[in-house]
């Protein structure tokens, strides 16, 4: 009896082993096939095969994704997955702003804050108003204010018999962007900023007293700079200086400031987001795309109303690469995978580390990545990956990282 029972158990275990092996065969075959394909397929079929497998990820069962990869060296599209679909770009909107600004303003553009005076100088006394003309420089700080006031002192002024006036006509009066959430940590959009705060004039008033300038009136006011006003000093920061923080750290105020520089360049009176959008739309049209197919609300990506596509982002990246006057300023500003900025902790110890240079974008339910990399064959690639409707940002980022690794890994 015991022998029969033991024999029956042995037969059952053997049968279970056969079933388990049969269940594992498809998975093992898939792994073997993937290895074989990667080892034998030529470029770019090997890359396309890898990404074909990635887009089978369960992430795409319950969320949207648009993807485009373009070979800049051969001027060919390598991969397209719903690339014309309009999705929320989050902070990859900053790519649109940066490329448009470099295209319109040029790489030598300066963000300026200036001091002027109206009236007359009698001895060491200014009998008139001191004007501060705001250029919406987001990097202007306490040290810059001291530099401006040093110039005022060098002009021999130690007494002001008049008002301290703010010229804020560089942009409209709106202090926020269209479609911004009330509970976000939103920047204040005004042409005169110090340490990223809208307290420039009060800080100026206090600092003048600190450096020994007597204010006989000292009242704060606002108005347009008179035509006959005399310039005392100007503090400039280069567009490269602004781009570094705007792109590496994804600073929203810096991006909005860049957006409004574009608006101001149109020459409109008290320009706003509308004028900046018009410049973006003209560039989109020049690239051969229809601007009516997209929605541009702000320059940073904070707005819920922005809608772009991977096709548009790739077209802009192509344009930047083909135009050295843009590319040489844009590329150094982009975060580098595993090295710095918002990509510092991503793609470490992979072929993408130190290779991928791209702008990230993250808001609730949205994760995007767009930029450049170099393939193992030396070809320069640009790409855009836009994930939307995902509750797991980490899963979306993991998907993006795997795509980047596929582009960079030896084939």
Confidence band for 93, pLDDT divided at 50, 70 and 90? very high
**d(C-alpha 373, C-alpha 355), whole Å:** 6
Average pLDDT over residues 305-330: 98
Phi–psi pair at 255, nearest 5 degrees: -70, -40
For residue 41, what pLDDT band results from cuts at 50, 70 and 90? Answer: confident
Is the pLDDT confidence value at 185 over 80?
A: yes
Q: Average pLDDT over the chain, rounded to whole?
A: 91
Name the nearest CA neighbour of 370 among 323, 304, 311, 295: 311
Residue 379 pLDDT exceeds 50: yes
Q: Write out pLDDT tens, residues 127-149.
A: 999 999 999 999 999 999 999 99
**Which residues, at least 6 apart from 62, have a Cβ–Cβ distance to it below 8 Å?**
389, 390
Measured CA to CA, the distance from residue 53 to residue 47 in angstroms comes to 10
Percentage of the chain lying above the pLDDT 70 cut: 90
Angle at 238 between CA 236 and CA 239, to 5 degrees: 135
Give the pLDDT of residue 122.
93
- Of 256 and 20, the structure prediction assigns the larger pLDDT to 256
Question: Closest by alpha carbon to 102, among 112, 90, 114, 94?
Answer: 94
pLDDT band at 30, cuts 50/70/90?
A: very low
Residue 24 confidence (pLDDT):
42
Please, which pLDDT band fits residue 183 given cuts at 50, 70 and 90? confident
Q: How confident is the model at residue 26 (pLDDT cuts 50, 70, 90)?
A: very low
The residues pairing with 234 across neighbouring beta strands, listed in sequence order, are 114
82 with 63: CB under 8 angstroms? no
For residue 378, pLDDT beyond 70: yes
Cβ proximity of 120 and 127 under 8 Å = yes
pLDDT bin (cut points 50, 70, 90) of residue 182 is confident
Q: What is residue 216's DSSP assignment?
A: S
pLDDT over threshold 90, residue 160: yes
Would you state the pLDDT for residue 34?
Answer: 52
Average pLDDT of span 179-204: 94
Q: Which pLDDT score, from 0 to 100, does residue 29 have? A: 41
What would the two tokens of residue 212 be? Answer: 């020994």
Residue 163 CB contacts under 8 Å (≥ 6 apart), including other chains: 129, 130, 217, 218, 219, 220, 221
pLDDT tens by residue, 258-288: 999 999 999 999 999 999 999 999 999 999 9
Count, in order, helices (H) and strands (E) of the chain.
11, 14
Which of 29-38, 41-50, 142-151, 280-289 has the least mean pLDDT?
Answer: 29-38
């Amino acid at each position: 009896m015991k022998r029969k029972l033991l024999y029956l158990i042995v037969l059952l275990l053997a049968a279970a082993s056969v079933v388990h092996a049969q269940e594992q065969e498809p998975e093992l075959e898939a792994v073997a096939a993937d290895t074989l394909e990667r080892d034998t397929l030529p470029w770019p079929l090997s890359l396309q095969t890898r990404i074909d497998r990635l887009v089978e990820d369960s992430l795409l069962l319950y969320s949207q994704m648009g993807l485009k990869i373009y070979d800049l060296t051969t001027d060919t599209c390598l991969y397209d997955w719903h690339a014309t679909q309009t999705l929320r770009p989050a902070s990859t909107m900053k790519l649109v702003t940066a490329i448009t600004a470099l295209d319109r303003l040029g790489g030598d553009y300066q963000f300026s804050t200036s001091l002027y005076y109206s009236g007359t100088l009698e001895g060491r006394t200014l009998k008139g108003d001191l004007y501060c003309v705001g250029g919406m420089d987001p990097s202007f700080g306490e040290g810059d204010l001291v530099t401006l006031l040093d110039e005022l002192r060098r002009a021999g002024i130690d007494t002001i018999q008049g008002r301290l006036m703010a010229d804020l006509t560089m942009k409209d009066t709106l202090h926020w962007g269209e479609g911004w959430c009330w509970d976000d940590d939103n920047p204040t959009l005004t042409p005169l900023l110090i340490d990223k705060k809208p307290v420039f004039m009060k800080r100026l008033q206090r600092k003048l007293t600190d450096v020994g300038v007597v204010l006989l009136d000292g009242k704060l006011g606002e108005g347009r700079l008179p035509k006959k006003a005399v310039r005392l000093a100007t503090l400039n920061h280069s567009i490269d200086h602004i781009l570094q923080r705007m792109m590496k750290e994804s600073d929203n105020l810096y991006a909005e400031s860049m957006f409004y520089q574009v608006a101001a360049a149109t020459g409109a009176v008290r320009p706003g987001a509308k004028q900046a959008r018009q410049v973006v739309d003209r560039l989109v049209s020049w690239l051969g795309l229809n601007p009516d197919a997209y929605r541009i609300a702000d320059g940073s990506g904070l707005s819920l109303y922005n809608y772009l596509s991977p096709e548009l982002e790739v077209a802009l990246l192509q344009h930047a690469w083909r135009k050295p006057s843009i590319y040489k300023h844009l590329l150094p500003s982009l975060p580098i995978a595993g090295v710095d900025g918002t990509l510092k902790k991503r793609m470490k110890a992979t072929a993408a580390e130190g290779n991928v240079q791209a702008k990230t974008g993250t808001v609730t339910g949205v994760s995007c990545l767009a930029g450049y990399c170099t393939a193992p064959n030396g070809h320069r690639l640009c790409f855009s990956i836009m994930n939307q409707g995902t509750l797991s940002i980490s899963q979306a980022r993991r998907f993006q990282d795997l795509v980047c690794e596929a582009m960079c890994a030896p084939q």
